[in-house]
Structure 1
């Protein structure tokens, strides 16, 4: 049964009000969205433990404890290493600028036959030498900036405490909340809504679980390969390339570009550039032929341009909250568009158009 005009306007008004509410509450939604994402990731594990005749509470405690342990292990292992590499990079920035000013730029001007004026970067090098210690210590810098405002410190601590608390309660009551939402759906739309919700869950599950595993796997592969090459900032560049790989080919291009520049400055030869190309080529082949087909398949199917637009639009409209919501919302919209296309193909309007083409 089709919707009446008043029902359509009611739905549009509800969507508009929801968008306005999201815009107004964006500054306080971050811990709730992070907790909801963690609960969504953990719910399948809880369901599997329940199938083994464990109670929901016991299963939630086990999964929640596992999430906390993994999170702390990642923080304890990666953050100090990344901080050391970033501090080392900042310390060496003056030498990198010397290489750029004395080697790279003259070579580029000679190859392109340019008669451009020389750049004097001495003031920039001096500023870096004076400030690198304060910039290099990430933890001290963050805590120093936060502690300048008592309100900001309270908000930061509140989010830090809220996320695990919210995750635990959302994980415990996840199935109950879904059941309550299903009860609110009008009966005549229930079957269609449930089917769309399952399609959305399949796409979101593929993205949330599969894409995260692909990103972490690629980051590990890139970091290990660059470490074997001998690159000083292997972990930093490898993880950066892995994290941005949710946009197809962006991690490969950005990582190879940054690693190539770092290798040219560090080694100043061609053979290491070839090694860098091998590392990222192997990672790209691993992603294309193993990771993406095995972990993702063709369940997402979002075009790279759509991914880039979704992230940029979400950040522009709602800031960091918009970035968190961009790809999940885009995946849901994609499912709804597929459903709309199916309805259109089955409609009389499409059938009339096909018949008129045949008659013509």
Structure 2
């Protein structure tokens, strides 16, 4: 029998090793973004399509055919969304000359306002704008190059994702056996339970997010239609689509309709109204819509969500920001089910609300108590004894 020597490391050595390991993980994730980003998206879509695939297989569809039907379904859905966005952009492009003329007129009004208010003549303003434009043009080349590179990588990722989704679904039993062998000391039932919870969290998050986006799109569109903003449906849907990036998406999505209001309306109050509509929708989304639909199924507290967004953006850009919330929720499920790491899962979640600090809970409890007392009194009154 082999003898093992246990070495007790000092605390500072343990902390140093943990920090070095975390740094190496982050470096690896950043360097491997080209592979990890499509893999992560494919994993989420595979979890979302898994129930449909299982259902088709229960109807005696071969697994390959069932996976093919799932892939065709999601490609059709994404194609419809892409067609809508493209058609709206083409329609928007037809009105672009008129918008440019309106922008020129607005710029002239701004020149006159600056001249009257600050005493800066138009020629000095134009010189300043030329210098600013030169600075912007000097850096625009790198910006365009980066944008083209990002677009090319995005299309390459979209080409790889169906392949990854297919193999995730096809080899799902094989991956389960791998996890059972990897965590041999953990009962298979516990691993299956964790996998089921992860699938449930991802499904609830994505389906809830789609429903929230639909509600936000409807509210944005109605508000913009009331104000008479052109392309209200497009801007409402775009802002809802950008809402996939929590906290920041709705802000970015509100810029375009505000600019449209400034260019197409005679009063600045329309732009103020647009900002008010998006502010109200954001408040409703954050305080009522998302908590009611997603609820505690993806219970990641705002601080953890913001930190995850920042880390995801640093590592993988916009894709990392989109992936940050679902994978933080997955990490929480895993941490909650590993006893030594359970405190970290607790740290990621929502803080518990004491019963005495929950007015809704007191109202419900009082209501139940009153109903119970009423039933008891009626029973005693109607009793033959």
Alpha-carbon distance between aligned partners in 2 of 1:213 and 1:256, rounded to the nearest angstrom = 20
Which residue of the partner structure matches residue 181 of structure 1? 179
- Following superposition, the deviation at residue 59 of structure 1 comes to 2.4
Inter-CA distance 124–94: structure 2 relative to 1 (3 Å threshold) = farther
Q: Secondary structure at the match of 2:297?
A: coil
For these two proteins, the number of residue pairs brought into alignment is: 318
Separation of aligned partners in 2, 1:228 and 1:37: 38
2:257 corresponds to which residue? 259
- More displaced 10-residue stretch of structure 1: 277-286 or 319-328: 277-286
Structure 2 Cα separation of the partners of residues 208 and 104 of structure 1: 48
2:39 aligned with 1:39 = no
Aligned residues of 1:315 and 1:322 also touching (Cα < 8 A): yes
Deviation for aligned residue 1:273: 5.6
Tell me which structure has the larger Cα radius of gyration. Answer: 2
Q: Deviations over 1:203-256 (max 9, x none)?
A: 333322311332244235424552464322434432332133346665555555
State how far apart, in whole Å, the 2-side matches of 1:231 and 1:279 are.
Answer: 12
Counterpart in the other structure of 1:161: 159
For 2:38 and 2:218, the matched residues in 1 are separated by: 27
Task: Report how far residue 124 of structure 1 moved.
Answer: 6.0
Unaligned runs of 5+ in 2: 1-6, 134-139, 348-385
Deviation (angstroms), 1:332: 3.2
The 1:201/1:97 distance shift into structure 2, 3 A limit, reads farther
2:106 paired with 1:99: yes
The counterpart of 2:320, out of the listed 310, 322, 326, is 322
Go from structure 1 to structure 2 and tell me whether the alpha carbon gap of 1:263 and 1:199 turns closer, same or farther (over 3 Å shift): same
Partner of 2:216: 218
Aligned to 1:310, which of 308, 311, 318? 308
2:209 alignment partner, SS class? helix
Find the aligned partners of 1:13 and 1:251 in 2 and give their Cα distance: 33
- Cα distance change on mapping 1:193 and 1:282 into 2, 3 Å: same
Partner of 1:354: none
Matches within 5 A, 1:49-68: 49-68=56-75
Contact 1:225–1:279 at 8 Å: present in 2 too?
yes
Q: Equivalent residue of 1:299, what SS?
A: helix
The answer for the alignment partner of 2:202 in structure 1 is 204
SS at match of 1:226: helix
Determine helix, strand or coil for the equivalent of 1:186: coil
Q: TM-score normalised to the size of structure 2?
A: 0.62
Change (3 A) 1:166 1:333: closer
Query: In the superposition, relative to structure 1, how do residues 261 and 46 fare at CA in structure 2: closer, same or farther (>3 Å)?
Result: same
TM-aligned CA distance change 1:75 to 1:288, over 3 Å: same
Show the counterpart of 2:76. Answer: 69
| Structure 2 residue 32 is matched with structure 1 residue 25 | yes
Q: Unaligned stretches of 5+ in structure 1?
A: 129-134, 136-140, 147-151, 345-360
Match of 2:342 in 1: 339
TM-score after normalising by structure 1: 0.65
